[in-house]
Structure formats: C-alpha cells, structure tokens
Amino acid sequence: MTWTHKNLLGLEGLSREEITFILDTAERFHEVLDRPIPLVPALRGKTILDMFYEPSTRTATSFAMAAKRLSADVVGFSKASSSVSKGETLLDTVRTIESMRVDGVVIRHSCPGAARFIAQRIDAFVVNAGDGAHEHPTQGLLDLSAAHKRLGSFEGRHLVVVGDITHSRVARSAIYGFSTMGAEITVCGPATLIPPHFKKAFPNVGIETDFDRLLADADMIMMLRLQLERQGKGLFPSIREYRKLYCLTAERMKKAKPDVVVMHPGPMNRGIEIEPAVADGSNSVVLAQVRAGVAVRMAVLYILAGGELEH
C-alpha cells in the first residue's frame, strides 16, 4: 500500500489497512532483531531528533534503539538537559529544529496537541511519543503487535482497559487502535477516573466500574499504571481501596479465560494495579510488549522516512 501521512500523531483516523501495514512492517523488523547483528542500513544518513519534555525511560530508550537499529543518527534532549529548562518556548525550539534540518522528530510532551503543534510547523516528519492524556500511538501499535501474536485476529475479541482512563493516553490510543482492528472494548475504573461524556465521545466503547463483572468475558486485559499523585487530588481515597477494587490479582485471574492476554504499558506498580504473580505469569505479555515496541518504532520511523523494504 502507499503510505500517505507525513506524521504519526495518533491512531485516531488510521485505517485498518494502514495499521496492518505498520504491524506487518514491524513483523519484518522483529526478524531483524533476532539476527546476531540486529542492524539494517535502512535509514543511513537520516537524522532523528528525540525530544522528551517529560521523564521517560522506556519510550525514550525504545525509540533511540529503534532508530539506531535502522542506522539513523540519533540526537536528543530531555527537558532537564536542554534549553527548555531555560524557558525556551516550543515555537523557538521548533525554529531551532528547522534550522538544524533533521529528518524526523520524536516528541513526548505533557500537553495534548504538542506533537501536532510541531508537526504543523516543520517539514520533518513527527512521531508523537505521548502528548499529555491525548494519544500515544506507538504504544497502541505495540499493544496490538504483542496481543496479535497471542490471539491472531482481533475480530470480535474483547479488550478490557482498567484504571485511570481520564488521564491515560495509552487508553485512548488503545481505543482507536483496537476498535479499528475489530475488537470490542470496555473501559473500567472508578467513576472519578472515567471522563464524564465518555459514552458520547466513544459510543461503541463500554463503561463498567465493577472489574469483576468483566473478567469472564475478556480476551485481553490492559492494566494501566496508577498515577499515585491522583490520590492527593481526591480522585480515589487510598491505595488499599484501589487495590481491592481494581488490582489484577491471581484470585481475579481465576475468573478470567485461561488464555486471556494480560498487558501493561509499564512501568508497573507491582502490587497496586497488578500482582507480581500475574505480571510475571504465563498470561502476561508485558515483556513481549517491550520487545514489540522496538520493532513497531522501527517500522514507524522507517515508513515515515519513506523507506521501501527490499523483499
């Protein structure tokens, strides 16, 4: 197929064909990652700028590794080490990037729309590595990739997303990605962490506050990381109560399908939203997600840079 988008800002609006194309491309890079020297010259001479305005270990590392495996030159900064901390505006940063003539930009930012803000103002392609609570498209793609390996087709499969839906870009990208691929989705969490008007925004997505009612029917369970500081804002009363209602425990797993796929975007609060025995158990694809992350990001960088895979 012909890829027509300059950027990857979200999974919203991508067609099933386009998502499949990225996942298929990622599959080929999975093979590359299995080689003794996991390196291809696909992006030789290209420069990727990683801009991380928010602390990130796994996403930043994963993107950097993906670019390097493609032989791209990677430069980057995080908020602490750049002029951003000296109060430079995003607009000035954009102008700086333009004059440096990079080929692609990967941006993580706490403000929804930040990746789009940059993409509208530069010629280089932009990959959104998470913009506030809006979208985190490569996370959605790696979730799809990891789940696909276990389940095959998503048609009619039921994904349950559990936790802080309001503040989760992971949840939003999952909703767009998995629903486009044919899955049914239910979000689950305390009423204070599901946005009002959610039903109107996502008419085909179910809402449930009682986790236990969803276990038997779920083909995939995606546990979201609980931001502990939300307790201080009064969005939930205590860790122990949250744990009681929403932790994916071994006990709860007994009520789930034997082959249910358990996902977590990481980093995990072990013992809060997921019990260690479940996180490390046979249903968990947590490490496969991390691995899929590199392959998926290789695919995204590769496609946006205009590469053609040799057969």
- Phi/psi at 220 (5° precision): -140, 135
Residues 6+ apart with CB under 8 A from 15: 180
How buried is residue 107: exposed, middle or buried, by Cβ count under 10 Å (0-12/13-18/19+)? buried
Q: What is the DSSP-derived secondary structure letter of residue 270?
A: B
* Amino acid sitting at position 189: G
Q: Which stretch binds other proteins (CB under 8 A): 27-35, 133-141, 154-162, 206-214?
A: 133-141
- Taking CB under 8 A as the criterion, the residue among 33, 65, 75, 111 binding other proteins is 111
Nearer to other proteins, 46 or 172 (CB): 172
For other proteins, which residue of 30, 108, 109, 264 counts as binding (CB under 8 A)?
A: 109
Q: Is 90 exposed, middle or buried (0-12, 13-18, 19+ CB in 10 A)?
A: middle
Amino acid at site 253? M
Q: How many residues bind other proteins (CB under 8 A)?
A: 27
Minimum CB distance to other proteins smaller for 12 or for 27: 12
Examine residue 110 and tell whether it contacts other proteins (CB under 8 A).
Answer: yes
Binding to other proteins, residues 4-33 (CB under 8 A): 12
Stretch that binds other proteins, among 64-72, 108-116, 222-230, 271-279 (CB under 8 A): 108-116
Radius of gyration of the chain (CA): 19
Question: Which of 46, 172, 225, 264 is in the footprint of other proteins by CB under 8 A?
Answer: 172
| The token pair that represents 239 in the structure block | 């860790």
Can you read off the two tokens belonging to residue 187?
A: 């979000």
The span of 98-106, 166-174, 217-225, 255-263 binding other proteins (CB under 8 A) equals 166-174
Residues lying near other proteins in the complex (CB under 8 A): 12, 89-91, 109-114, 116-117, 131-135, 167, 169, 172, 195-198, 200-202
